């Protein structure tokens, strides 16, 4: 298979006019076989969404095998070729089921986007900043509990969120920093506490600005601590609802495109009509782009990562930077960049063709066009 005539994403140069060639599910430098005409189009790596909960009526937290396959298929159709869905704050027994079902899904080599990980957003979060997480099921950071969940996930747990001000959080980081990417989330932490979490080995900030104290001039909070901690990555929900366009532009300038991870944070209503749904056991009403709990708290989004990338570009982010934040960086965070996240020879033949308006023209997965 060869994709001819397109502008192909390149990590160093932005976009270059060249052909992209696949052979046996892998990107190769010698072209041959069937031709896909991408003249006038952009060709980018398949995206990786490392923080979304559900779509098409399904949610990772349901621990439902069929639902997970539905999610994987939908994401692939949107150009998200790798997924690392996120759990909510749930009881341990339910989280064990979530991890078990995900591990079984991966082992069975089910269709749809490749499940490359599980992101445990809950339960080690702060009651005061729980957002749409269920407060009844919050839990203090607990290394033994984390290890039980990781074991149920058979190595699939790639990220875990914690509120670093909670008792035991710093010890949690000390103990697990080399086993999993620890992300600071749903937190009241001030600058010093967050900085200490990063100094000890936390590596990410979960949906920067959302469910944390603001970035203010004498109290820079998690945002300032992440900025001051070299190499720490920041997630940004770029659905046009969670973050003001000016803040999206500021974050890309402040952190640089190489430190921003675009996420969709979608819930089960993504891809579905307006109506009543649930998220982590709580009722959510969806109206247009807005999903809210009964008290008005924003409860995830109803978009997809490709649309978030497009929204970032609408807000003024250069396309190459937006692609970096949606395809390259999340592949690096989830530890799959050696085979995904760029269009270099030897990597998985996962690519997306977008027209000049960034609308989907075609998705290629393991070298085949997704129909």
Please, what sign has the CA dihedral across residues 50, 332, 149, 152? positive
130/86 Cα distance (integer angstroms): 15
Whether residue 160 contacts residue 204, with contact meaning beta carbons closer than 8 Å, is answered with: no
Q: Which residues are catalytic?
A: 265
Instruction: Pull the structure tokens for residue 98.
Output: 């979530």
User: What's 255's DSSP letter?
Assistant: H
Which value, to the nearest 10 degrees, does the dihedral of the CA atoms of residues 152, 153, 157, 160 take?
-30
Residue where the block lists tokens 């035991």 = 168
Checking DSSP bridges between strand 80-83 and strand 54-55, what pairing results, if any? unpaired
Using CA atoms, how far apart are residues 278 and 89, in angstroms rounded to an integer?
13
- Cβ–Cβ contacts within 10 Å for residue 167, how many? 9
For residue 160, what are the contacts with CB-CB under 8 A and spacing of at least 6?
A: 119, 120, 124, 146, 176, 180, 181, 182, 183
Between helices 191-200 and 221-228, what is the axis angle to 10°?
A: 40
Three-class SS of residue 52? coil
Evaluate whether 3 touches 36 at the Cβ level (below 8 Å). yes
Q: What residues form DSSP beta bridges with 237?
A: 263
CA angle 241, 261, 350 (to 5 degrees): 110
The residues pairing with 47 across neighbouring beta strands, listed in sequence order, are 80
Q: What is the 8-class DSSP label of residue 135?
A: G
Q: How far apart are the first and last CA of the chain?
A: 15
DSSP annotation of 266 reads B
């Amino acid at each position: 298979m060869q994709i001819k005539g397109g502008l192909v994403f390149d990590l160093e140069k932005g976009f270059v006019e060249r052909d992209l060639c696949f052979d046996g599910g892998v990107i190769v430098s010698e072209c041959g076989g069937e031709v896909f005409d991408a003249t006038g189009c952009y060709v980018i790596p398949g995206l990786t969404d490392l923080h979304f909960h559900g779509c098409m009526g399904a949610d990772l937290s349901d621990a439902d095998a069929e639902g997970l396959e539905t999610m994987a298929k939908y994401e692939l159709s949107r150009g998200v070729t790798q997924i690392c869905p996120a759990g909510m704050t749930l009881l341990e027994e339910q989280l064990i089921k979530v991890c078990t079902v995900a591990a079984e899904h991966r082992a069975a080599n089910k269709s749809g986007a490749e499940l490359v990980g599980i992101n445990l957003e809950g339960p080690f979060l702060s009651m005061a900043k729980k957002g749409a997480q269920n407060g009844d099921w919050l839990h203090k950071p607990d290394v033994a509990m984390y290890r039980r969940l990781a074991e149920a996930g058979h190595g699939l747990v790639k990220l875990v969120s914690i509120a670093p001000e909670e008792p035991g959080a710093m010890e949690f980081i000390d103990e697990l920093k080399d086993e999993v990417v620890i992300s600071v989330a749903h937190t009241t932490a001030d600058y010093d506490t967050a900085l200490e979490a990063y100094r000890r080995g936390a590596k990410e900030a979960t949906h920067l600005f959302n469910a944390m104290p603001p970035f203010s001039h004498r109290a820079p909070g998690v945002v300032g601590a992440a900025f001051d901690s070299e190499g720490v990555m920041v997630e940004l929900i770029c659905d046009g609802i969670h973050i003001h366009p000016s803040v999206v532009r500021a974050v890309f300038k402040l952190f640089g495109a190489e430190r921003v991870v675009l996420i969709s944070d979608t819930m089960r209503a993504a891809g579905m009509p307006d109506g009543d749904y649930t998220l982590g056991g709580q009722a959510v009403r969806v109206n247009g782009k807005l999903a809210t709990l009964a008290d008005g708290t924003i409860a995830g989004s109803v978009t997809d990562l490709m649309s978030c990338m497009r929204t970032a570009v609408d807000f003024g982010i250069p396309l190459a930077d937006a692609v970096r934040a949606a395809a390259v960086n999340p592949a690096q965070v989830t530890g799959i960049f050696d085979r995904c996240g760029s269009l270099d020879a030897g990597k998985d033949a996962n690519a997306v063709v977008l027209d000049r308006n960034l609308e989907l023209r075609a998705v290629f997965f393991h070298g085949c066009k997704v129909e």
